Amino acid sequence: MAVTLAEVAAHAGVSPATVSRVLNGGYPVAGGTRTRVERAIEDLGYIANGPARALAAATSDLIGVLVHDVADSFFGILAGSLQSALGPGGQGGARRLAVVCNTEGAPAAELDYLALLEGQRAGGVVLTGGAVEEPEHTRALAARLARIAATGAPVVLCGRPPLPMPAGLPVATVMFDDRGGAFRLTEHLLALGHRHIAYVAGPPGLSTTRERLAGHQDALRDHDPALPAHCASLTVHAGFERSAGYDATRELLRRGAPFTAVAAANDTVATGVAAALREAGLRIPEDVSVAGFDDLPVCVDTAPALTTVRVPLREAGVLAAQLVTGRRALPPGGITTLPAELMVRASTAPPPAAGPPAAGPPAAIGGGRP
């Protein structure tokens, strides 16, 4: 049986009128009271009646676009494509005002921005980037998005997995084939003859990290069931920044385990990997092959040009714009998976005939972060 507004009010210890004010977003409500009501809504799984709430609080032309880091090229390209498609003459098919919200990857910021967008009666929301895989946050996020979607405002999850949501809501998911792309990248390195393959994974607890690492391990396992264990000591988790790739590679060199190739969680990390290898006196790809993921514009300008996996960011932005404006019907099951394409360039080659190169310990490498 559906939870009623009166039940939410009783759970929060407030009047039904106060719950209505919080839901409609246009009335002043004390911060502590609002928090109690929002927690009661999430605890009980309350979803306002869609048609009734849409009449009481008609949505605006504002579309909220949540990104992890607007300064990161991955999110800049995706948000830029989406914003262009939503603007005048864009491929989204309707003029909308896109407001980009920079969460810095923080779950609390994600929820706070969604509360603000709900209060502004946003006409749609697009969440981009990997999802934080923490059960309590997943539950709170699904509840808040369900409330937004119940007003008739479409919700699009772009580059992240679907959430457990009630059926019948206008919610779509646009996923990248991260696992398949990582599989093809490691398969390429194996085909070149590499068996000592280091992997700089992203932060733990993130869906993107899990999918890309799983694809890498799938390829190792398919080639030789013993390879995942063999390469386990060559896998390190790091952030998605250039400095994270640099520090992770220094750590790999410090461990002293031999490797002839490094696959990085993304292209930005790969540039840091390359810097640390060069600082150690290692050549790319003669001594160590390096590969990234995403195919950012910088990949063709690195020396040598970076082998990577192309993620269709611009296409995803246009598709998300069409879905969030209702100009494209929801796909069967609400999920679209976009393909990832292996881009082979000059940074990968067969391993050296003499075997994995030797490098001195970090103290002998010199430098500091590039």
CATH of the domain at 184: 3.40.50.2300
- Once rounded to an integer, what is the mean pLDDT over residues 199-213? 97
- Give CA–CA dist 370/368, Å, rounded: 6
217-231 burial code (b ≥16 CB/10 A, e <16) = bbbbeebeeebbeeb
Least confident stretch, 163-167, 262-266, 276-280, 294-298: 163-167
User: Domains in the chain: how many in total?
Assistant: 3
Q: Same domain for 171 and 182?
A: no
Is the distance from CB of 153 to CB of 171 less than 8 angstroms? Answer: no
Predicted pLDDT of residue 29: 75
Query: For the whole prediction, is pTM greater than 0.85?
Result: no
Give the three-state DSSP class for 82.
helix
**What does pLDDT average to over the chain?**
90
State the virtual CA torsion across 104, 110, 114, 116 in degrees, nearest 10. -60
Residue 221, domain member (yes or no): yes
Partners of residue 313 on adjacent β-strands: none
Residue 4, domain member (yes or no): yes
Q: Same domain for 21 and 170?
A: no
Residue 52, domain member (yes or no): no
Q: Same domain for 158 and 29?
A: no
Q: Is residue 202 pLDDT above 90, yes or no?
A: yes
Q: Same domain for 210 and 288?
A: yes
Residue 169, domain member (yes or no): yes
- Closest to 273 in 3D by CA, of 177, 331, 348, 356: 348
Q: Same domain for 29 and 160?
A: no
Q: Same domain for 252 and 275?
A: yes
CATH code of residue 25 = 1.10.260.40
Q: Same domain for 318 and 303?
A: no
Q: Order the strands of the 124-128 sheet from edge to edge.
A: 97-102, 62-67, 124-128, 155-158, 171-176, 335-338
Predicted pLDDT of residue 301: 95
Predicted pLDDT of residue 54: 46
Is the distance from CB of 200 to CB of 248 less than 8 angstroms? Answer: yes
Residue 366 tokens, joined:
């010199």
Q: At 49, is the pLDDT very low, low, confident or very high (cuts 50, 70, 90)?
A: low
Q: At 55, is the pLDDT very low, low, confident or very high (cuts 50, 70, 90)?
A: very low
Is the distance from CB of 197 to CB of 260 less than 8 angstroms? Answer: yes
Predicted pLDDT of residue 354: 77
Predicted pLDDT of residue 90: 67
Q: Same domain for 75 and 221?
A: no
- Once rounded to an integer, what is the mean pLDDT over residues 115-135? 94
Residue 16, domain member (yes or no): yes
Is the distance from CB of 275 to CB of 352 less than 8 angstroms? Answer: no
Q: For 233-251, what is each residue's pLDDT tens digit?
A: 999 999 999 999 999 999 9
Phi, psi of 61 (to 5 degrees): -85, 10
Predicted pLDDT of residue 25: 56
Q: Same domain for 202 and 238?
A: yes
Those residues with Cβ within 8 angstroms of residue 184's Cβ, 6 or more apart along the chain or in another chain? 215, 219, 309, 340, 342
- Once rounded to an integer, what is the mean pLDDT over residues 163-178? 94
Tokens 């999110």: give the residue.
75
Give the three-state DSSP class for 158.
strand
Is the distance from CB of 24 to CB of 16 less than 8 angstroms? Answer: no
- Once rounded to an integer, what is the mean pLDDT over residues 344-356? 92
Is the distance from CB of 165 to CB of 171 less than 8 angstroms? Answer: yes
Predicted pLDDT of residue 56: 45
Residue 39 tokens, joined:
């927690």
Predicted pLDDT of residue 208: 97
> Which residue range(s) make up the domain with 4?
1-46
Q: Is residue 43 pLDDT above 90, yes or no?
A: no
Those residues with Cβ within 8 angstroms of residue 332's Cβ, 6 or more apart along the chain or in another chain? none
- Once rounded to an integer, what is the mean pLDDT over residues 181-204? 98
Residue 54, domain member (yes or no): no
